[in-house]
């Protein structure tokens, strides 16, 4: 009983940290583990963060009904290797990340800037997403690529019936 009480206090603290840092968020928002977001982060409804880290100056937009496994990392910035110094100069190149509605990232997924993950996509644990993932795709690997697709008819039926976790 005491353990659950302490967990609830930590969850409130984690949620407050996210709310104070991100640009915009909507309820419900669940932050189960310590998560770090950037000031250019936009969170939709029913977002569940479980130890997410969002780094960089680019915009990160996460849609409704998003779930992340532990230790996920979204990185919007890269070093400028074409600049005036080797291996890179002092400038950064920022690219946005768009994660649409009903997306699930498994544990330790890395998403790099310039990527859009489509509605209903699932990204397998440990994957590195470097290019766009289509809607309803189940993707994995390094680099992540679609290897299977959800049953689109079933997916749309659940969306229409508003059956979300």
E strand or H helix that includes residue 12: helix 2-21
CA atoms within 13 A on the CB side of 128: 4
- Close Cβ partners of 12 (under 8 Å, ≥ 6 residues apart): none
79 among known catalytic residues:
yes
**SS3 assignment, position 79:** strand
Q: Determine which one of 67, 79, 154, 165 is catalytic.
A: 79
**SS3 assignment, position 158:** helix
Q: Active-site residues: which are they?
A: 79
């Amino acid at each position: 009983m005491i353990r659950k009480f302490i967990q609830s206090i930590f969850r409130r603290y984690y949620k407050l940290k996210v709310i104070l840092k991100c640009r915009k968020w909507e309820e419900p928002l669940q932050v189960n583990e310590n998560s770090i977001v950037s000031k250019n982060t936009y969170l939709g409804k029913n977002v569940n963060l479980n130890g997410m880290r969002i780094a960089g100056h680019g915009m990160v937009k996460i849609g409704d009904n998003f779930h992340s496994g532990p230790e996920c990392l979204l990185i919007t910035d890269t070093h400028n290797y074409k600049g005036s110094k080797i291996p890179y100069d002092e400038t950064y190149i920022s690219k946005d990340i768009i994660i649409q509605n009903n997306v699930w990232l498994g544990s330790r997924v890395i998403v790099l800037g310039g990527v859009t993950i489509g509605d209903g996509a699932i990204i397998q644990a440990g994957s590195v997403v470097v290019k766009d993932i289509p809607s309803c795709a189940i993707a994995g690997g390094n680099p992540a690529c679609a290897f299977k697709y959800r049953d689109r008819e079933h997916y749309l039926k659940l969306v229409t019936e508003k059956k979300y976790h």
